[in-house]
Structure 1
Amino acid sequence: MSPGRSCLYNAAPDSFGTTSVNDTTPAGANQERTVLFADVSGSTRLYEVLGDARAFAAIDACLDILRKLTAAHSGHVVKTIGDEIMAVFPDAMNAVQAACEMQLVVSSRKPVDNERVAIRVGLHHGPVLESADDVFGDTVNIAARMAEVAKAQQIITTGSTVALLPPIVRASTRTLSTLAIKGKADDIEVREVIWQESEDMTMMVGNTQSHSDAEPTLKLIHQGETFIVDAAHPSVTIGRDERADIVIQDRRASRMHARIERRRDKFVFVDISSNGSYVIVKNETEIQLRREEFVLRESGSISLGHPYIKDPTEVVEFFCQS
């Protein structure tokens, strides 16, 4: 797979990607579309840290990437609202492909003064009313709600949208919750697209054999609670923020301090904090990481914002299993 390519680029059957939103029925008619919202997460902080000029340039460069990738996947940007774009696509697959590639490209860009630009994406497929320069209807409202639910580096959609995707793509989504939407009798299933599984998904194309039961698994233990990272749950976030998967009650930890990602058969610890992280692998010397990555192996412990010896109560223990 070429650099920057979408995690779903090779997963679509030939029938996908052949229509454009400009090739269909006249404006004003009800049509089936996938509506996507993508915005720069934490833009207020970028302006505070980088200053107006540099923050604007960083955000504008990010929005330009989103516009180009929308067009590359048969989509059309309806409008840009501050640090957010609203786009429409002819089908769910094109929209999900675009969303994955947006995340891949933006996440691979270099930080600006140690501030990494990140995006969150929400999308939903359904009937819309298109005018010359806007799109209306419940589908738009639901897509916007999915974007509100999304955290930085997440793609959030609905169960009904996932049902329209090929099986290979559906396999790389997970249910998060259900959500009550005003005016809707039934709750909506909220699902996350796991775009970080790009290499895994490419390898799965055309492979109908079942996977071995011995899938690599990472077990994490914090304050007596166990968390699992595996193919079904390929990432975990750690930090003081209550939205993190593992919440750390220590002021020395950043709100979003780190994440652990499954990459093929490896588990990678990614520090994104101010004070750094301290990792001890069994029988080895403690190492300090600051905005760096480290491949976890065997077993050990992770301390957030301080060395292990200074406070061993808020550590995360890890155990690699295969």
Structure 2
Amino acid sequence: MDSAVLFADVAGSTALYELLGDQRAFQLVESCLSTMSACTTEMHGRVVKTIGDAVMSVFGSADEAAAAAAEMQFRVNQLGTEPSVRLSLRIGFHWGPVVQRDGDVFGDTVNLASRLCDLASKGQIITDRSTALRLSGLYAPSLRTLFKVPVKGKEEEVQLIEILWHTAADEMTALVTRPGTGNAGAALLELEMGDTRAEMGPQRRKVTIGRDLETDFPVRNPNVSRAHAMIERRRDHFVLVDHSLNGSYVTFEGRPEMKVHREELTLVGQGVITFGQPADEALQALHYRCVQAWQAPA
């Protein structure tokens, strides 16, 4: 039989224990698991099992899995009560044939769903192209094509699709707050790596970085993943999204270097980003600068 298999994992749970202590962190993770289970049931799915700080669920349709995933992200995002704690999930799901036995499910569909969850960044919902094609038109505005990845056991690379679970809310906010006139300009991001330059803004909303020569900024380094990271424009902010094996290193001007590994970071001011290794070891570095484009009054 065919089912949508979904894996949802609490992002950064190890850091929670270090930040909050065992008791408080355990309570928060348990709340996350309970919330994910409740969302599964409400969307007509079934929780197969919990694995540490992750939930595995099955659904009768891709739409049900997508709805449950979006609801999980929304509700878990509201759970953190401390200002320093922002809870979110990494979610992946795939539609395909499964074998059921003693309440558990097995097969290639399960393996791919688990892999998609592993590839998701903090706060992301990831599926693949074949599953996205099974979604109703309701989800079309929220789908974003990412990149292809090799998957063990698959002859062809798998095309990743992200479901932007917060898109609708963001767009509504933008309509309410957008000024009608004025000389405030659109946010731009200037990027430079060696002889390669790019400018992000309203006309260019994403650039890719990796070892693959087809990325916008190829990096010749074995520590760098083929599809290592990307920078996205989200309204008037630029966000570095790392989905690599070894992480990215960001230095804001005048501040210490920080590592970003399978998570997101909003870029501010100007600075330097290296991929796969710290700046003092890297031969190639991406320099960025956030600027404001001038617009004449309407």
TM-score range, shorter chain: 0.5 to 0.7
142-151 vs 165-174, greater mean Cα deviation: 165-174
Q: 1:317 aligns with which of 262, 267, 291?
A: 291
Cα drift, residue 199 of structure 1: 3.3
Cα drift, residue 111 of structure 1: 4.3
Residue in 2 aligned with 1:252? 256
Cα pair distance change 1:49/1:130, threshold 3 Å: same
Residue in 1 aligned with 2:277? none
CA offsets per residue over residues 148-189 of structure 1, 9 Å max, x none?
100100001000000011234133211111122222222211
Alignment of 1:194-205 (within 5 A): 194-199=164-169
Distance in structure 2 (CA, Å) of the matches to 1:131 and 1:258: 38
Q: 2:9 aligns with which of 14, 18, 39?
A: 39
Say whether the 8 Å CA contact 2:249–2:257 is kept in structure 1: no
Structure 2: runs of 5+ lacking an equivalent = 174-184, 207-231, 272-286
Which letter does structure 2 place at the counterpart of 1:61?
S
Cα pair distance change 1:105/1:318, threshold 3 Å: farther
SS at match of 2:151: coil
Say whether the 8 Å CA contact 1:222–1:317 is kept in structure 2: no
Cα pair distance change 1:83/1:197, threshold 3 Å: same
SS at match of 2:27: helix
Structure 1: runs of 5+ lacking an equivalent = 1-30, 204-215, 261-268, 270-276, 278-301, 305-312
Q: Tell me whether 1:81 sits opposite 2:81 in the alignment.
A: no
Which letter does structure 2 place at the counterpart of 1:186?
E
Residue in 2 aligned with 1:280? none
Say whether the 8 Å CA contact 1:239–1:255 is kept in structure 2: no
Residue in 2 aligned with 1:293? none
SS at match of 1:248: strand
Say whether the 8 Å CA contact 1:111–1:117 is kept in structure 2: no
TM-score (norm: length of structure 1): 0.62
Distance in structure 1 (CA, Å) of the matches to 2:292 and 2:78: 26
Residue in 2 aligned with 1:169? 139
Cα drift, residue 62 of structure 1: 1.0
Cα drift, residue 113 of structure 1: 5.6
Distance in structure 1 (CA, Å) of the matches to 2:294 and 2:145: 25
Identity %: 34
Cα drift, residue 75 of structure 1: 0.7
Which letter does structure 2 place at the counterpart of 1:33?
S
Q: Tell me whether 1:226 sits opposite 2:196 in the alignment.
A: no
